[in-house]
């Protein structure tokens, strides 16, 4: 396991109660520290419980983890402390997702618009579970960390020349999920206005026309599960 992970992050080490430093202890939430004293089955159950509040929004994702999450490990590298999910596929192979430490007030302040654009349930996820959760080897197919959530207007998009009339407000649209293949699930909202009941979202692509006004939660759930089986 470690040999495979170090292909992508050579300095990564797994944490245990024996290797934990005082600095690690200060940075880790108590819920993460508690995992180190548990057997793998208990760790898995404890981690999935943290996702339970999203089951009505991300049912398929939650069910997939419930059925296929094999192990949970805490790790450390030059990028900091992280949680690794070992997940099995239908053909019996395994892959890894990475969950970052929960977002701090400093994280939220560093990208206020990126945090504000998130629906309430995702704000809760970022604050209490992970500030970013994605496929370990590519750092895609999952929730972008707050520092990587970006406004579409901040990038140059060649596709705009092909689209013609701008189909949405780039200034009010933020990418929160990266497919790793030039596709982004985005949320559009004027942050000066009250939060609407429904999330206004689009699929934005670097090389083809966007898919506008998609159902945010079903698309997010579907894209997450596609990532599990790719």
- Tens digit of each residue's pLDDT (9 = 90 or more) over 53-102: 999 999 999 999 999 999 999 999 998 999 999 999 888 889 999 999 99
3-state secondary structure of 194: coil
Query: Are residues 155 and 175 in contact, defined by beta-carbon separation less than 8 angstroms?
Result: no
Residue 175 CA, chain-centre distance (Å), reads: 12
Q: Which residues of 149-168 are buried (b: 16+ CB within 10 A; e: fewer)?
A: bbbbeeeebeeeeeeeeeeb
3-state secondary structure of 205: strand
Helices (H), the chain: 2-5, 22-27, 30-35, 40-51, 59-68, 105-110, 112-116, 120-128, 159-163, 216-229
Residues 155-187: tens digit of each pLDDT: 888 888 788 777 789 999 999 999 988 899 999
Q: What is the pLDDT of residue 7?
A: 80
In this structure, how many other beta carbons lie within 10 angstroms of the beta carbon of residue 211? 14
Residue 227 CA, chain-centre distance (Å), reads: 12
**Rounded to whole angstroms, how far apart are CA atoms 165 and 195?**
27
Residues 204-230: tens digit of each pLDDT: 998 888 999 999 999 999 999 988 877
Q: What is the pLDDT of residue 21?
A: 93
Residue 115 CA, chain-centre distance (Å), reads: 13
């Amino acid at each position: 396991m470690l040999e495979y992970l170090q292909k992508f992050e050579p300095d990564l080490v797994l944490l245990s109660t024996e290797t934990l430093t005082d600095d690690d202890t200060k940075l880790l939430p108590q819920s993460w520290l508690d995992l180190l004293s548990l057997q793998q089955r208990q760790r898995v159950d404890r981690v999935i419980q943290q996702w339970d509040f999203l089951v009505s929004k991300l049912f398929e994702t939650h069910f997939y983890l419930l059925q296929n999450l094999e192990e949970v490990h805490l790790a450390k590298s030059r990028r900091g402390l992280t949680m690794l999910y070992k997940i099995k596929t239908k053909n019996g192979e395994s892959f890894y997702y990475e969950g970052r430490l929960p977002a701090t007030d400093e994280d939220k302040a560093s990208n206020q618009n990126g945090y504000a654009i998130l629906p309430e349930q995702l704000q809760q996820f970022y604050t209490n579970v992970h500030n970013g959760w994605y496929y370990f080897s590519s750092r895609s197919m999952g929730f972008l960390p707050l520092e990587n959530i970006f406004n579409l207007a901040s990038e140059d998009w060649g596709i705009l020349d092909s689209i013609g009339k701008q189909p949405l407000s780039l200034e009010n649209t933020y990418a929160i999920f990266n497919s790793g293949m030039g596709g982004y699930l985005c949320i559009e909202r004027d942050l000066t206005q009250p939060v609407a009941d429904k999330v206004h979202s689009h699929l934005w692509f670097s090389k083809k026309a966007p898919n506008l006004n998609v159902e945010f939660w079903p698309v997010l759930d579907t894209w997450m599960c596609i990532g599990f089986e790719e």
